[in-house]
């Protein structure tokens, strides 16, 4: 455990030191994955499939706010739909505008979920999103996750019905619009998954806010189980043919991933919980303070031992490596107020030549 | 000479101003009724546009039947129904907006109160320094 914590500290330090570079790189990668995903799933406008365009837009996204990434992704989806069929683009545009007007003006911060959810679907771990957002987000994140889910199923629907949508005559415009709307509203799988995700986010959020020990872990487990149950019940009720094996494996994988996330976001030591009560003029306070787990990262100090100037010539002959000798590495494990210090000494290699000097 | 306490306080204030504080201070400049009123108004406009889009899609979905029926049906009743749906939609959305932004306003006020207190503290620190 202490090794893992040490790795976490190293990552944190690295991020703190280089966040100016890390954040744009991460944004660039996210934009690249999103745009390549759109190209792979839709990709009907050949001019947009040019890797150079995708790279340039990703580079733009790397230093623009996240909102622009969503904007570019939406534009790409719309353009691909447009070159397939104008009606498809029309319906998708209406859906995007509705999402923008009705939902994203409330929680613009969490709108990045709209991009992450389809990516998780593509990676076959969609169940990560509701649990993770329940843990680190607010109940409002449920809406963003739901919108992401709708967009995923919409793109799947378009790519499955590309031939029907693309081949029609101009006179069948209304039929195509009807096909799109039917595909959107009549998709029972989508509706069940959306309901399951919304309920999972709410449940995970409620449980992790409880003042119970290990509330995060309980929330993850409960969220995973409820998610599986809701989808299975939906499957029984509407006969949507969900692959049970994929559902369970995906959920387990998601739970593991979220446990890793929990380790990075919220690692506390419940064994050292302190409960205190005090009062001021207005309130009584019942405070439960749970300390965070922390380790000091081992720092290796390299001491240079120089010989006296007069004799240094003698030691310079191919034996420089002995001059730099690690003295000791210290490792501290902080536990509350008591500090345990373990000292590791490097094997003290003696060198006869060196000692003589 | 550097006053360490003051530098720490200023750093905290600057960090607040740059991050969450920016929005919070902007919200705090409004009166409660003004802020919520503006947000509700925005929601009404947004939901009106949304309703028009939904209505247009609804008509387009069944355009042929609608065009056939348009001479047969009672347009006043139809318009009345549409208006009722519109009113319900907008009111529900406005009420949700009202609650969400009331909550946000209270939160922003609380957050800025600490900020302004710290600003006062900083000013008093400067005063003290000047007196000596």
pLDDT tens string, chain A, 357 residues long: the values are 778 888 888 888 888 888 888 889 999 999 999 999 999 888 888 888 888 999 999 999 998 988 889 999 999 999 999 988 888 899 999 999 998 888 887 777 777 888 999 999 988 888 999 999 998 888 888 889 999 999 999 999 998 888 888 776 666 777 888 888 888 888 888 999 999 999 999 999 999 888 888 888 999 999 999 999 999 999 998 888 888 888 899 899 999 999 888 888 877 777 777 777 877 777 787 877 787 777 766 666 777 787 765 554 444 444 444 444 444 434 444 443 433 344 444 444 434 333 333
Residue among A98, A106, A177 minimizing CB distance to B60: A177
- Cβ atoms of A298 and A2 closer than 8 Å: no
Residue in B96, B131, B117, B97 with CA at minimum distance from that of residue B28:
B117
β-strands A284-289, A299-304 pairing: unpaired
Q: For residue A102, list chain B residues with Cβ-Cβ distance below 8 A.
A: 46-47, 50, 93
* Element at A331 (helix H, strand E): strand A324-335
Rounded CA gap, B23 and B103, in Å? 14
Q: For residue B57, list chain A residues with Cβ-Cβ distance below 8 A.
A: 91, 94, 177, 181
pLDDT digits (tens, 9 = 90+) for B46-90: 999 999 999 988 888 887 788 888 778 788 888 899 999 999 999
Q: For residue A147, list chain B residues with Cβ-Cβ distance below 8 A.
A: none
- Cβ atoms of A53 and A36 closer than 8 Å: no
Q: Hey, what are B64's tokens? A: 């042929």
| CB atoms B61 and A181 under 8 Å | yes
| CB atoms A181 and B100 under 8 Å | no
DSSP A137: S
- Cβ atoms of A253 and A120 closer than 8 Å: no
Q: For residue B47, list chain A residues with Cβ-Cβ distance below 8 A.
A: 101-102
Beta strands in A258-323 (DSSP E): 274-279, 284-289, 299-304
| CB atoms A98 and B60 under 8 Å | no
Q: For residue B105, list chain A residues with Cβ-Cβ distance below 8 A.
A: none
Q: Hey, what are B5's tokens? A: 């306490």
| CB atoms B64 and A178 under 8 Å | no
Residue among A101, A177, A178 minimizing CB distance to B50: A101
| CB atoms A97 and B49 under 8 Å | yes
| CB atoms B47 and A98 under 8 Å | no
> For the complex shown, is ipTM > 0.85?
no
Q: What residues are paired with A303 via a beta bridge? A: A325
Q: Whole-model pTM?
A: 0.76
DSSP string, A145-193: HHHHHHHHHHHHHHHHTHHHHHH--GGGHHHHHHHHHHHHHS-HHHHHH
Distance from CA of A101 to the nearest CA of B (A): 5
Q: What angle do CA A137, A140, A145 make, to 5 degrees?
A: 80
Longest dimension (CA), chain B: 90
Q: Hey, what are A279's tokens? A: 């009062």
Q: What is the chain A residue with the closest CA to B55?
A: A94
Mean model confidence pLDDT for chain B:
85
């Amino acid at each position: 455990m202490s090794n893992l914590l040490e790795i976490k500290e190293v990552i944190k330090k690295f991020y703190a030191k280089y966040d100016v570079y890390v954040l744009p790189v991460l944004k660039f990668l996210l934009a690249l994955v999103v745009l390549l995903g759109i190209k792979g799933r839709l990709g009907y406008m050949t001019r947009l499939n040019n890797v150079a365009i995708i790279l340039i837009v990703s580079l733009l996204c790397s230093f623009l706010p996240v909102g622009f990434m969503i904007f570019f992704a939406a534009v790409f989806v719309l353009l691909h739909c447009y070159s397939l069929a104008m009606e498809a683009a029309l319906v998708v545009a209406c859906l995007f505008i509705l999402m923008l007007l009705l939902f994203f003006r409330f929680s613009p911060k969490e709108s990045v979920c709209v991009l992450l959810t389809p990516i998780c679907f593509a990676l076959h771990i969609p169940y990560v999103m509701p649990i993770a957002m329940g843990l680190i987000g607010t109940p409002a994140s449920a809406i963003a996750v739901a919108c992401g889910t709708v967009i995923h199923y919409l793109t799947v629907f378009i790519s499955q019905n590309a031939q029907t949508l693309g081949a029609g005559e101009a006179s069948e415009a209304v039929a195509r619009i009807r096909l799109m709307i039917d595909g959107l509203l009549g998709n029972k799988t989508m509706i069940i998954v959306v309901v399951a995700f919304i309920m999972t986010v709410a449940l995970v959020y409620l449980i992790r806010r409880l003042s119970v020990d290990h509330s995060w872990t309980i929330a993850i487990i409960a969220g995973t189980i409820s998610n599986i149950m809701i989808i299975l019940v939906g499957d029984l009720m509407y006969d949507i043919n969900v692959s049970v094996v994929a559902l369970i494996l995906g959920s387990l994988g998601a739970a593991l991933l979220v446990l890793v996330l929990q380790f990075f976001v919220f690692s506390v030591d419940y064994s050292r919980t302190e409960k205190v009560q005090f009062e001021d003029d207005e309130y009584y306070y019942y405070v439960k303070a749970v300390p965070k787990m922390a380790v000091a990262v081992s720092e290796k100090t390299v001491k240079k031992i120089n010989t006296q100037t007069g004799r240094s010539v003698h030691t310079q002959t191919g034996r420089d490596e002995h001059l730099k000798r690690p003295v000791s590495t210290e490792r501290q494990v902080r536990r509350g107020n008591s500090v345990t210090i373990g000292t590791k000494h490097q094997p003290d290699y003696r060198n006869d030549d060196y000692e003589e000097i | 000479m550097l006053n360490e306490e003051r530098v720490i306080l200023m750093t905290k204030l600057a960090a607040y101003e740059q991050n969450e504080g920016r929005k919070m201070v902007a919200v705090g400049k409004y009166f409660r009724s003004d802020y919520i009123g503006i947000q509700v108004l925005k929601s009404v406009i947004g939901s009106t546009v949304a309703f028009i889009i939904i209505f247009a899609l609804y008509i387009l979905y069944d355009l042929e039947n609608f065009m056939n029926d348009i001479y047969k049906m009672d347009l006043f009743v139809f318009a009345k129904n549409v208006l009722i749906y519109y009113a319900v939609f907008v009111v529900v959305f406005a009420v949700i907006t009202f609650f969400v932004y009331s909550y946000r306003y209270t939160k922003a006020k609380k957050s800025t109160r600490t900020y302004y207190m710290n600003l006062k503290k900083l000013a008093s620190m400067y005063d003290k320094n000047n007196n000596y």
